[in-house]
Amino acid sequence: MEEKAKLLVEALPYIQRFHGKTMVIKIGGEIIDHERLLKSMLKDVVLLSYVGMKPVLVHGGGKELSRELRKLGKPLKFIEGLRVTDEETLEVLHEQLAGKLNKQIVSIIAGVGGKAVGLTGLDGNLIQAKKLTLRRNQHGKEVEIDLGYVGEVEKVNATLINYLLNTGYIPVIAPIGVDAEGRPLNINSDPLAAELAKALKAKKLILVTDVPGVLRDVNNPASVISKLPISEVSGLIQNKIVKGGMIPKLEACIRAVQGGVEAAHIVSGHVPHVLLLELLTDKGVGTMITKDA
């Protein structure tokens, strides 16, 4: 019995440290797909909110989207990891992300006694974005690659989110921005989470993925790099230690840390209670990206 209480007491210093601090948590599509994991994680988010932190959730949803597009017999098209988004894709994106996933998350949170408000970047002009155009050199000429309705964040309107946080709501944000004419744009959720963390002056950005963190040896899950100053990232990329999908995640982390966020974390959603371990115990899990000492 007493053991139980002792464990609560051990959490005290962490609760004190992060009390009233905003935490932007991005939950990747792989975890969202995994119902049991998602429920457990959202319960933990509600707990964090009750012990005084201010969690903001950003969700992806690529898998759900791809599945739905496939159902409709629509070929998936990506350029440099970015989904080419035509009007029909955008519509399905709204249906699946804003309509289904976002509300599913809100519903689970309500079910465990939390209060969440689901939003997209359209709501209250929350995430102002502009169309993203890739400029690449092909055969010695610069060409513009059109990705369709894909955007990058220009400005985050923090007022509404701060109101929600201060009155005890957990904002749940789908990765859709709005351009100056009120048109929606598909936004990658990793850089979106980074921009939110900056705009909200968050203490931490946590990217919940399906890998254990940044690995020294991509074949060895035990080779997680615990602490990574931002200056060391470029070396890891040049030496091909870090590759593929991890690169934009690290870029998002760097953007956040350079923008004033104290630390960014890349953790695995498969570790049970990973958020509690990371935020309420001294057991660091995954990789923490920080300013250079």
Size of the site for its own copies (CB under 8 A): 69
Per CB under 8 A, 175 contacts its own copies = no
Per CB under 8 A, 235 contacts its own copies = no
Q: 205 and 71 in contact (C-beta within 8 Å)?
A: no
Per CB under 8 A, 182 contacts its own copies = yes
The sign of the torsion formed by the CA atoms of 226, 231, 237, 241 equals negative
Structure tokens at 215: 């690995």
Structure tokens at 65: 């989207």
Question: Which residue number, 77 or 115, has a Cβ lying nearer to its own copies?
Answer: 115
Per CB under 8 A, 86 contacts its own copies = no
- State the Cα–Cα distance between residues 54 and 62, nearest whole angstrom: 26
The CA-CA-CA angle for residues 271, 37, 61, to 5°, reads: 110
How far is the CA of 142 from the CAs of 24, 85, 135, in angstroms? Answer: 37, 22, 6
**Among residues 32, 56, 123, 233, the one that binds its own copies under rule CB under 8 A:** 123
Per CB under 8 A, 111 contacts its own copies = yes
Binding mask 246-285 vs its own copies (x if CB under 8 A, - otherwise)?
--------------------------xx--xx--xx-x--
35 to 74, contacts with its own copies by CB under 8 A?
43-44, 46-47, 50-52
Question: Which residue number, 134 or 180, has a Cβ lying nearer to its own copies?
Answer: 180
Per CB under 8 A, 293 contacts its own copies = no
What is the number of other CB atoms lying within 10 angstroms of the CB of residue 84? 17
Kindly give the residue spans of alpha helices, DSSP state H, lying in the chain: 2-18, 29-32, 35-50, 62-71, 87-93, 102-111, 158-166, 189-199, 233-238, 246-258, 274-280
**Among residues 25, 38, 98, 252, the one that binds its own copies under rule CB under 8 A:** 98
Place of tokens 């932190």: 53
The sign of the torsion formed by the CA atoms of 219, 221, 223, 227 equals positive
Per CB under 8 A, 87 contacts its own copies = no
- State the Cα–Cα distance between residues 171 and 176, nearest whole angstrom: 14
Question: Which residue number, 84 or 160, has a Cβ lying nearer to its own copies?
Answer: 160
**Among residues 66, 125, 162, 223, the one that binds its own copies under rule CB under 8 A:** 125
Question: Which residue number, 63 or 115, has a Cβ lying nearer to its own copies?
Answer: 115
Closest separation in Å from C-beta 265 to its own copies: 16
Question: Which residue number, 68 or 251, has a Cβ lying nearer to its own copies?
Answer: 68
Strand partners, 22: 54
Question: Which residue number, 122 or 264, has a Cβ lying nearer to its own copies?
Answer: 122
DSSP 210: S
Per CB under 8 A, 288 contacts its own copies = no
Question: Which residue number, 101 or 254, has a Cβ lying nearer to its own copies?
Answer: 101
Q: Label the pairing between strands 263-268 and 204-209.
A: parallel
Q: Which residues in this chain contact its own copies in the complex, by CB under 8 A?
A: 1-2, 4-13, 15-16, 19, 43-44, 46-47, 50-52, 91, 94-100, 102-104, 106-113, 115-120, 122-125, 159-160, 163, 167, 169, 176, 178, 181-184, 272-273, 276-277, 280-281, 283
